[in-house]
Amino acid sequence: THLPYMLSYFPSGGSSRTIFHYIQNIRA
């Protein structure tokens, strides 16, 4: 999964929430 990679790449915070939505859209 790309979730752990993205979370590690991006800083933990409000941005990670945006990244999560971004991943959801890609996998959708």
pLDDT tens readout for residues 1-28: 555 665 555 555 556 667 777 778 777 5
pTM over 0.85: no
17: helix, coil or strand? Answer: helix
Is residue 2 a contact partner of residue 19, using CB atoms and an 8 Å limit? Answer: no
Please, what's the largest Cα pairwise distance for the chain? 23
21: helix, coil or strand? Answer: helix
pLDDT at residue 26, as a whole number: 78
pLDDT at residue 25, as a whole number: 77
With the C-alpha atoms ordered 7, 5, 10, 20, is the resulting torsion angle positive or negative?
negative
Is residue 24 a contact partner of residue 4, using CB atoms and an 8 Å limit? Answer: no
pLDDT at residue 12, as a whole number: 55
